[in-house]
Amino acid sequence: MALVFGVEKKTVPTYMKYVMGGTSGMLATCIVQPLDLLKTRMQISGTLGTREYKSSYEVLSKIFKNEGMLSLYNGLSAGLVKQATYSTARMGVFQMELDWYRKNYESDPSLVAAMTMGIVAGAFGAFFGNPAEVALVRMMADNRLMPEDRRNYKNVGDAFARIVKDEGVLALWRGCLPTVGRAMVVNMIQLSSYSMIKNQFREFLNEGVPLHLSAATISSLLTSLASMPLDMAKTRIQQMRVIDGKPEYSGTIDVLKKVLKNEGAFAMWKGFTPYLIRMGPHTVFSFVFLEQMNKAYTKHVLEDSASDSTTS
């Protein structure tokens, strides 16, 4: 996505690229939010002492039965704020890196350079998006708890205010290290694999949604396999409670060790199916929305109907 985002340097102003990048992520989140909730519920299954769900289908059926269909969108406000911060920051930092590279080297970045810039941009985006990520995880997990244990955040603003009041400002960055680590892995693999696969598939598919969907699906599989354990650790740290002044986990390694010991190695990939299904469509939808906004801005604001956006 970041590679696509940086190509309109002669037409679309930099600030509009930030705006469109964040907006495209927010629109995609509106579509895939239920899958994100399923993934989160699967990842924290077992933290209450029992294995709550055997499959994503069981999660879905229990949500419909006990909470209602609209609960699939629990935490949507936090998800939108996350995209408004994470996606915008990631795209913005990558654009700055891209402009710097082109100015100093007078060429587009190589694959290795693009991977490196993606890692750095992902780290910055994850840091700025972490508060919304904490609120999102907690809001999506709340209904699985007993009524007396629920946090009952009204919205993402209420979540921020209560977290700061009850736990301190730094609690908004709980799980920041695994979040940043995951973002670095995701960006490194996703940017490079998506670009390479897309170029290979151009021999068989014309430029368009089928090509983007095919490349994004394979890229998402590789990215999901590599980043899932870190995502699971991040999720558990962000929703953990502090009991008698002692947090449930001391860090990412502690989470992974306890999961391996108590739940087995395959628990590292709990929620893999909705995670994979979410990542592919989110990448594709973000790309499509971004492309259409680019075209609309070029046509109606820059009044250049002949301009065609580049997609690689």
Per-residue pLDDT reduced to its tens digit, 239-262: 777 777 787 888 788 888 988 888
CATH code of the domain in which 210 resides: 1.50.40.10
Q: Is residue 307 part of a domain?
A: no
d(CA 148, CA 173): 25
Whole-prediction pTM = 0.69
d(CA 76, CA 80): 6
Q: How confident is the model at residue 123 (pLDDT cuts 50, 70, 90)?
A: very high
Q: Is residue 214 part of a domain?
A: yes
Q: Is residue 312 part of a domain?
A: no
Q: Is residue 10 part of a domain?
A: yes
Q: Is residue 208 part of a domain?
A: yes
Q: Is residue 306 part of a domain?
A: no
- pLDDT tens-digit profile of 44-82? 776 555 566 677 788 888 888 888 888 888 888 888 998
d(CA 12, CA 136): 32
Residue 7 has pLDDT above 50, yes or no: no
Q: Is residue 274 part of a domain?
A: yes
- Structural domain of 114: 2-301
Give the chain's domain count.
1
> How many Cβ atoms sit within 10 Å of the Cβ of residue 62?
15
Q: Is residue 233 part of a domain?
A: yes
